[in-house]
């Protein structure tokens, strides 16, 4: 076999260099991994996220609240007590828990339900009460300074049943013992073992992925110091990195084994694999990067960090597949099928005897039958998408074993379904002709609005130019009726209440933030999808030199993503599929379909390329 033609490609020349200088290449990767880890320990991640929607009313309310109520800069949790609240033995336990919470670091104050001014913190039947614990910083800052902040707080107050009373903590969740990344890695190893039938062949994609993951994840954490990045972005980047890293290595190793079986030498097999599968991997990685960068079109600051960390993971995995893997194959040589596992794996070079070759013949022999059957299956799977419900999950969607879920249920039982999602009316009285009258009108109008269960007394700021009014809906935060209530207050009730007084009222709070973000993303999602599809079409047209092939790839991927949305919607509706994977009934945050599209569209293009 002549090596001249494959070596004309840049990717082949790089791969052949890595093969011939494999000791230096592997050493370089080890040194880079060690250096990045050392740098990462000196520059640890600083995760933070602003989930406010640009230009939304809830964002304006948050900004006004931050400027006029400086004492409310930190976050808070509730200590929820269920029992005979007035019993002396129960009160002594409640007081002890409150004292413990007050002594914790960064706790700026605790409001006891037994205080004279805290009568509203006890249910009417005197069976449920709560204490509000105020922190001096937001939770993301506290978690950056102490990753085990939540765990340590829960360990100190010790939530759970105790004699005469049950105490639970809202908001916080217990830390997972085994990460989803490790579970994914274990499943990937099992699948690779079944596919290759060789422990050595199975280990190569895993080793390559671990190198890329170690570097990419650490770089993503370091980048979070410069770019606003939510904590969950690390999990997203890790799962994407593992997916593409193992996927790309699988392509290359499969072609390498086929070339060896065809009689080529290890070096020739390496060049052939990189000249075919390696080139496809390069363009597939480019498509994934384009899809992920499409998130920048959404205009949400926290998504910039998600995109950056994910792109770093993909680029690192892509580099490892095109340089580290050829070097490792140089050490393995013809021994790639050693350490075989009985009853697993079949030869990848069976040619016309392979199952998938025979299946392709069946499909091509009856194309319209296959098309109709496949379209019908996709349609059935996609149908649950019609009932997809957007909204931010809250503590009510946590597992029933979580203390935050039990606190949510106790508060619902004692104070009503809407208590866990109050609406925050921020009344700006600057410039009002009658500030007191305007505030009274707002409170009365909110109290008389259908769907409102309770309106708390107004809370003025120290300067008296702004007030907060907590409005508790009758329905749960995620109900459609609550969203309708928010729009009704904004569109008609509150404007009519303030009239021409000069006062301004903004509706904020977690529930309003969720509604605003869902509306915002729903409006911008077509722009995001259109930009990703268009750029991917241009890239694939460049690769295939055929607009028709690129168009077919785009359409097929859109159909498969719609089916994936249908499966997701079905799983979160409390169905058997959700119970199988321990997924509670929950709405879907509006940004999840967008992130799913970026990931799935990019990854599914691998198989088109």
Tens of pLDDT, residues 122-151: 999 999 999 999 888 888 788 877 878 888
Residue 104: Cβ within 10 Å count: 15
Q: What was the pLDDT predicted at 178?
A: 45
Query: What does pLDDT average to over the chain?
Result: 86
Q: Are 217 and 37 in contact (CB under 8 A)?
A: no
DSSP 532-581: HHHHHHHHHHHHHS-HHHHHHHHHHHHHHHHHHHHHHHHHTTT-HHHHHT
Residue 147: Cβ within 10 Å count: 15
Q: What was the pLDDT predicted at 450?
A: 94
Percent of the chain, pLDDT > 70?
93
Q: What was the pLDDT predicted at 336?
A: 85
Q: How far apart are the first and last CA of the chain?
A: 25
- Res. 3 pLDDT band, cuts 50 70 90: very low
Per-residue pLDDT of 148-168, as tens digits, reads: 888 899 999 888 888 889 999
pTM of the model: 0.81
Q: Which domains does the chain have, with CATH numbers?
A: 1-42+175-349 (1.20.1640.10), 76-169 (3.30.70)
DSSP 140-181: HHHHHH-TTHHHHHHHHH--EEETTEEEEESS--PPPSS-HH
* Lowest-confidence region among 251-255, 450-454, 531-535: 531-535
pLDDT of residue 108 exceeding 70 = yes
Per-residue pLDDT of 172-214, as tens digits, reads: 876 554 455 667 677 777 777 777 777 888 888 888 988 998 9
79 phi/psi in degrees, rounded to 5? -95, 115
- Res. 65 pLDDT band, cuts 50 70 90: confident
pLDDT of residue 339 exceeding 80 = no
CA distance 21 to 28: 11
Q: What is the mean pLDDT of residues 296-311?
A: 91
pLDDT of residue 6 exceeding 80 = no
Q: Strand 107-111's sheet: what is its strand order?
A: 107-111, 128-135, 76-83, 165-169, 160-162
Task: Report CA-CA distances (Å) from 496 to 239, 253, 444, 555.
Answer: 50, 69, 12, 49
229 phi/psi in degrees, rounded to 5? -140, 125
- Res. 608 pLDDT band, cuts 50 70 90: low
Residues linked to residue 109 through DSSP beta bridges, in sequence order: 134
Q: What was the pLDDT predicted at 1?
A: 40
Residue with tokens 């990854």: 603
């Amino acid at each position: 076999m002549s090596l001249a033609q494959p070596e004309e490609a840049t990717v082949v020349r790089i791969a052949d260099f890595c093969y011939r200088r494999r000791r230096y290449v592997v050493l370089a990767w080890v040194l880079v991994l060690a250096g990045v880890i050392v740098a990462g320990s000196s520059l640890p991640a600083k995760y933070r996220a602003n989930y406010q929607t640009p230009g939304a009313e809830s964002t304006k309310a948050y900004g006004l609240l931050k400027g006029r109520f400086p004492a409310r800069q930190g976050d808070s949790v509730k200590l929820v007590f269920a029992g005979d609240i007035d019993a002396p033995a129960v009160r002594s336990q409640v007081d002890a828990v409150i004292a413990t919470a007050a002594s914790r670091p960064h706790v700026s104050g605790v409001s006891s339900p037994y205080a004279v001014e805290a009568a509203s913190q006890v249910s009417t039947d005197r069976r449920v009460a709560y204490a509000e614990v105020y922190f001096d910083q937001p939770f993301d800052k506290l978690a950056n300074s102490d990753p085990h902040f939540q765990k340590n707080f829960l360990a100190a107050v010790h939530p759970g049943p105790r004699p005469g009373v049950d105490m639970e903590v809202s908001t916080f969740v217990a830390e997972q013992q085994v990460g989803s990344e490790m579970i994914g890695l274990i499943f990937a190893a099992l699948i690779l073992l079944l596919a290759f039938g060789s422990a050595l062949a199975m280990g190569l994609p895993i080793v390559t992925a671990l190198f890329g993951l170690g570097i990419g994840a650490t770089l993503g954490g370091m980048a979070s110091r410069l770019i606003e990045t939510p904590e969950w972005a690390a999990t997203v980047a890790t799962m994407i990195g593992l997916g593409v890293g193992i996927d790309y290595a699988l392509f290359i190793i499969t072609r390498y084994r086929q070339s060896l079986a065809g009689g080529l030498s290890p070096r020739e097999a390496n060049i052939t694999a990189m000249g075919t599968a390696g080139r496809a991997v390069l363009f597939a990685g480019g498509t994934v990067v384009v899809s992920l960068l499409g998130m920048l079109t959404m205009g949400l600051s926290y998504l910039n960090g998600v995109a950056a960390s994910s792109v770093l993971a993909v680029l690192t995995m892509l580099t490892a597949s095109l340089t580290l893997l050829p070097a490792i194959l140089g050490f393995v040589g013809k021994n790639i099928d050693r350490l075989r596992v009985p009853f697993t794996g079949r030869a990848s070079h069976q040619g016309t005897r392979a199952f998938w070759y025979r299946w392709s013949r069946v499909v091509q022999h009856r194309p319209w039958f296959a098309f109709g059957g496949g379209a019908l299956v996709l349609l059935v799977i996609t149908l649950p998408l019609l009932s997809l419900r957007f909204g931010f999950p809250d503590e009510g969607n946590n597992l029933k074993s979580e203390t935050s879920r039990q606190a949510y249920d106790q508060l619902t039982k004692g104070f009503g379904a809407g208590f866990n999602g109050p609406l925050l009316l921020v009344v700006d009285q600057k410039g009002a002709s009658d500030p007191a009258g305007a505030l009274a009108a707002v409170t009365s109008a909110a109290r008389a609005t259908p769907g409102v269960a309770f309106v708390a007394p107004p809370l003025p700021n120290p300067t008296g130019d702004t007030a907060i009014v907590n409005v508790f809906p009758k329905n749960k935060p995620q109900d459609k009726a609550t969203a309708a209530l928010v729009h009704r207050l904004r569109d008609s009730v509150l404007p009519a209440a303030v009239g021409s007084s000069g006062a301004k009222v903004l509706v904020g709070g977690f529930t309003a933030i969720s509604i605003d973000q869902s509306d915002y993303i729903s409006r911008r999602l077509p722009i995001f999808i259109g930009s990703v599809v268009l750029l991917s079409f241009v890239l694939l047209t460049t690769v295939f030199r055929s607009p028709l092939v690129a168009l077919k790839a785009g359409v097929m991927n859109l159909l498969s993503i719609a089916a994936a949305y249908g499966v997701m919607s079905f799983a979160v509706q409390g169905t058997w599929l959700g119970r199988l994977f321990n997924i509670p009934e929950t709405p879907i945050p509006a940004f999840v379909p967008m992130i799913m599209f970026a990931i799935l569209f990019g990854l599914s293009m691998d198989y088109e390329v």
